[in-house]
Structure 1
């Protein structure tokens, strides 16, 4: 029921976004508004222009006026006509109690599902030691993800932890994220470069011919069902998605058991 309630909220937000966008895009009477297939083609054109690196498998109208469902591989989003605003989630018809989203939601770890920390390829992550580093945390993060930046602000307040940051640029949403990830990975001090980028917005200089371990991180994320950022894994394998306040992070980390030795750990 909680999941259904959350989905209902998401749909309400979609409807609200559609209403706002429609208000801003009202025709002035000089031309008839686009309709049907013509409008869908226009949305497709906007998406391809704005996100040339993203493969859009399907665009179709939804029962919500001005809102379109977009399928991108394993991901599904809902957009308004301009293609600027995306909402990720499920779309429910509350009257019929049916999920009318096109494809099944990608498998992802639930908050109480555990991941074997010992299987994480830590040599493909940025290692940051704070204080005595006794607590252990892995974070899957995107440099252009606003929630990831918020999380970094909160992590900056957390002490006595060793953080392994896996760079996971979501290029379909953030076209510049991969190049920024490469620049951080190829910096002399990866940890400092990451902190500066996320807290100050200043990216390090790029290094020609150098790139991050994207294939390894992507394969790991796919295997574990991690499809969004930020995503946290505690030393004992507990998982938590999203940005959370520092006090909650401290409490969550303090209940973690000592992890098994992970691959690449030093």
Structure 2
């Protein structure tokens, strides 16, 4: 339902005026750790409500899940149906694309949004995840996975190397073809298997999935993935809620994690 609403709203936006990007150099880059949105928030202490009202003016059914300070001044960061939007504090301009932090060489996101996303991810109990733990863990990833997608299978082949590099992988189910698909049913069977790790590995190798049924967390994890904005698999999240993207080779992934940790 959330995705339908988001698509409908975006369709309406495409027929109305959208924000134009600022001219190069118009907005200085925020220093790491600085609350770049603080000056704008101080100028408009009611920015959250202003933005909420402006979005409701586009569609009364538009219900943001989160509104907080953006990682750059003059805008609020909005999460709805897992999609991140940026709306000016005065409610006039809206941007749909993820800004890039040139200084930190990473997609820009605020501490508030990371905390909100982390809280959502933490709702998935560790016992409901399929965990491939590193002997000497340095980093832990939450990965929404599918058993059919090519890059999910490629990432799974990297598990021994990732573990050797100190990266623990905790899988959550995201059968991207949806609840009515065979993929969804097969992932329930994987999560219901006596040895889930082995069942997942065999499924990712293309072996037939033995039918199983139980009270599984697959539907909950699929819904959770939609809430945090998963649209494709694998979807990789760091421990603090940072979305690292999709498949990344192990050596590059380690560099990204170390850079993100700094």
1:175 matched to 2:181? The reply is yes
1:249 matched to 2:224? The reply is no
2:5 & 2:153 partners in 1: Cα distance?
Answer: 25
Query: Hey, which bits of structure 1, 4+ residues long, moved more than 6 A?
Result: none
1:234 matched to 2:238? The reply is yes
1:205 matched to 2:206? The reply is no
1:120 & 1:148 partners in 2: Cα distance?
Answer: 23
1:257 & 1:120 partners in 2: Cα distance?
Answer: 22
RMSD: 4.0
1:218 & 1:203 partners in 2: Cα distance?
Answer: 22
Q: Which residue of 2 aligns with 1:139?
A: 143
Residue by residue over 1:224-255, the C-alpha shift from the partner in whole angstroms, topping out at 9 and shown as x without a partner, is: 22232211111232212211112111222344
Shift of 1:213: 1.0
Structure 2 residue aligned with 1:192, among 183, 198, 207?
Answer: 198
Unmatched 5+ residue regions in structure 1?
1-71, 77-89, 99-103, 259-266
Q: Which residue of 1 aligns with 2:118?
A: 116
Unmatched 5+ residue regions in structure 2?
19-61, 63-79, 85-97, 99-106
2:201 & 2:160 partners in 1: Cα distance?
Answer: 9
Residues 82 and 226 of structure 2 are in contact (CA less than 8 Å); yes or no, is this contact kept in structure 1?
no
Query: Secondary structure of 1:178's partner?
Result: helix
Query: Secondary structure of 1:130's partner?
Result: coil
Residues 154 and 244 of structure 1 are in contact (CA less than 8 Å); yes or no, is this contact kept in structure 2?
no
1:74 & 1:131 partners in 2: Cα distance?
Answer: 44
1:125 & 1:164 partners in 2: Cα distance?
Answer: 6
Which deviates more from structure 2 when the two are superposed, residues 227-236 or residues 149-158? 149-158
1:155 matched to 2:159? The reply is yes
Query: Secondary structure of 2:230's partner?
Result: coil
Query: Secondary structure of 2:161's partner?
Result: coil
Residue by residue over 1:173-231, the C-alpha shift from the partner in whole angstroms, topping out at 9 and shown as x without a partner, is: 99321122112111122122212222x21144222x32531232133223322232211
Query: Secondary structure of 2:216's partner?
Result: coil
- Which structure 2 residues correspond to residues 62-101 of structure 1 after superposition, within 5 A? 73=4
1:233 & 1:133 partners in 2: Cα distance?
Answer: 16
The 1:126–1:237 alpha-carbon spacing in structure 2 relative to 1, beyond 3 Å, is same
2:210 & 2:138 partners in 1: Cα distance?
Answer: 32
Which TM-score applies when normalising by structure 2?
0.52
1:222 & 1:157 partners in 2: Cα distance?
Answer: 29
Instruction: Report how many aligned residue pairs link the two structures.
Output: 172
Shift of 1:107: 4.3
Higher relative contact order (CA 8 A, sep 6+): 1
Residues 187 and 218 of structure 2 are in contact (CA less than 8 Å); yes or no, is this contact kept in structure 1?
no
